[in-house]
């Protein structure tokens, strides 16, 4: 009985009722969506909206993508399309740092692609989950990235550009778990794959990523070398948005080494590239880098202007992580200007921002920076409180367990 029913569903000769589909699904152990094939003639309007949705996600217009994607879902869509729609909306939520909503949609999309045996999209979906896990610092980031790569490599043939991108995601996951050796090795593997397909833009991104990894590991010289390679490739392809980011990253390397004058040259160029290309995303980060540099140079008034400009732009574009980073810098500036109330306000806003985004490592660092400021002021009790918060952020539940153990010792005494 099952085979004829499935045949009718797939050929579109009849429209079985939902109970019928649910019965078939139970008998075969597959979700209902598996049996809903594409309609014979999909509407041009829906196709156009899906293309527009993909373009919005690719262009980082995440809020617009979320609104459009939700409207497509609200108007109803064939079940065979739901996986891709949910995946795209999930990516938009991921890009706008709305972790919980992204997690739900990506899980639903993954279940769909598993059911219909779409290996390419399944790999993409698991890779997106790995990115989310890396950003929220959950323990399964490396596992998910390796799984995505395994699914992709089961395809025949394996698409090299996608393989390079998934290797980059795996490298970032290794780095987030503080495994620098594996991170660097995986970045190099990704570069090798990327070089084989002449994907210059991807190669430039990979050089930039490995440079950032070396910088975080404290090897500024090697970091600068890889970042310079990235710049050389980007000059060839004239990809201005990525080039602007790479100029900014190189300036950070130089700043860390105390080469402030050269760092300013690269930051000025990065800002000019943002202006020439009318880049919305990225400009706020360059402004924050300039704010940091100007503060190191001792011009606190100009640093305040740059930090405020970066905050205003980030708020307009709803860049949650950048908003929180701007508050940290403005708090540090207020501290140097001997404005304790303003510093307190800025750090409170930063802490709330990092908490809302689930960025635990940055939350830990923020508590630590604020604790140092409070300690210098002589507010030792408040400094201690924020150091405890930093510890709690790094090891959730630790303080609560210690308190419970202490209560047990008191009770048994």
pLDDT at 188: 80
User: CA neighbours within 13 Å on the CB side: how many for 277?
Assistant: 19
Q: In this predicted model, what pLDDT tens digit does every residue of 4-55 receive, in sequence order? A: 333 233 333 344 444 554 555 555 455 555 444 444 444 556 666 777 788 7
Give, in order, the Cα–Cα distances in Å from 399 to each of 116, 391, 403, 404: 46, 8, 6, 9
Tokens 């509407």 belong to 43
Name 75's Cβ contacts closer than 8 Å, sequence gap at least 6: none
Q: How far apart are CA 42 and CA 55, in angstroms?
A: 20
pLDDT at 398: 42
Q: In this predicted model, what pLDDT tens digit does every residue of 138-151 receive, in sequence order? A: 889 999 999 999 99
Give, in order, the Cα–Cα distances in Å from 341 to each of 332, 338, 344, 347: 12, 9, 5, 10
Tell if the pTM clears 0.75, that is, is over it: no
pLDDT means over runs of 10, the chain (413 residues)? 32 43 52 48 61 76 89 74 90 89 93 88 95 90 96 86 85 86 82 62 73 76 74 59 69 82 89 69 88 95 96 90 95 96 96 87 88 92 84 53 50 52
pLDDT at 300: 96
């Amino acid at each position: 009985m099952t085979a004829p029913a499935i045949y009718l569903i797939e050929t579109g000769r009849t429209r079985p009722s939902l109970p019928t589909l649910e019965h078939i699904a139970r008998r075969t152990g597959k979700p209902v969506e598996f049996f809903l094939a594409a309609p014979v003639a999909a509407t041009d309007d829906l196709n156009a909206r899906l293309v527009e949705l993909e373009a919005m996600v690719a262009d980082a217009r995440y809020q617009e993508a979320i609104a459009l994607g939700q409207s497509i879902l609200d108007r109803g869509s064939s079940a065979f399309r739901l996986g891709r729609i949910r995946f795209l909306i999930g990516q938009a939520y991921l890009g706008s740092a709305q972790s919980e909503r992204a997690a739900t949609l990506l899980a639903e999309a993954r279940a769909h692609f598993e059911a219909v045996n779409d290996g390419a999209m399944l790999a993409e979906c698991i890779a997106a989950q790995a990115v989310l896990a890396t950003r929220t610092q959950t323990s399964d980031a490396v596992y998910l990235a390796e799984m995505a790569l395994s699914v992709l490599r089961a395809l025949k043939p394996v698409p090299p550009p996608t393989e390079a991108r998934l290797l980059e995601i795996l490298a970032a996951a290794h780095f987030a778990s503080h495994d620098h050796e594996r991170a660097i090795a995986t970045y190099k593997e990704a570069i090798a794959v990327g070089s084989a397909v002449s994907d210059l833009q991807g190669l430039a991104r990979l050089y930039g990523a490995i440079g950032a990894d070396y910088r975080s590991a404290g090897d500024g010289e090697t970091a600068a070398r890889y970042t310079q390679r990235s710049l050389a490739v980007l000059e060839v392809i004239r990809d201005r948005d990525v080039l602007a980011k790479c100029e900014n990253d190189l300036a950070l390397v130089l700043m860390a080494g105390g080469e402030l004058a050269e760092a300013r040259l690269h930051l000025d160029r990065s800002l000019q590239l943002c202006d020439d290309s009318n880049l919305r995303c990225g400009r706020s980060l360059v402004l924050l880098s300039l704010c940091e540099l100007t503060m190191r140079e001792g011009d606190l008034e100009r640093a305040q202007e740059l930090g405020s400009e970066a905050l205003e732009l980030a708020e307009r574009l709803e860049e949650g992580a950048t908003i929180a980073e701007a508050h940290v810098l403005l708090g540090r500036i207020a501290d140097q200007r001997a404005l304790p109330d303003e510093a307190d306000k800025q750090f409170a806003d930063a802490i709330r921002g990092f908490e809302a985004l689930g960025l635990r490592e940055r939350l830990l660092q923020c508590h630590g920076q604020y604790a140092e400021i409070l300690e210098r002021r002589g507010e030792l009790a408040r400094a201690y409180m924020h150091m405890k918060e930093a510890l709690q952020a790094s090891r959730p539940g630790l303080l609560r367990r210690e308190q419970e153990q202490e209560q047990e010792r008191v009770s048994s005494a």
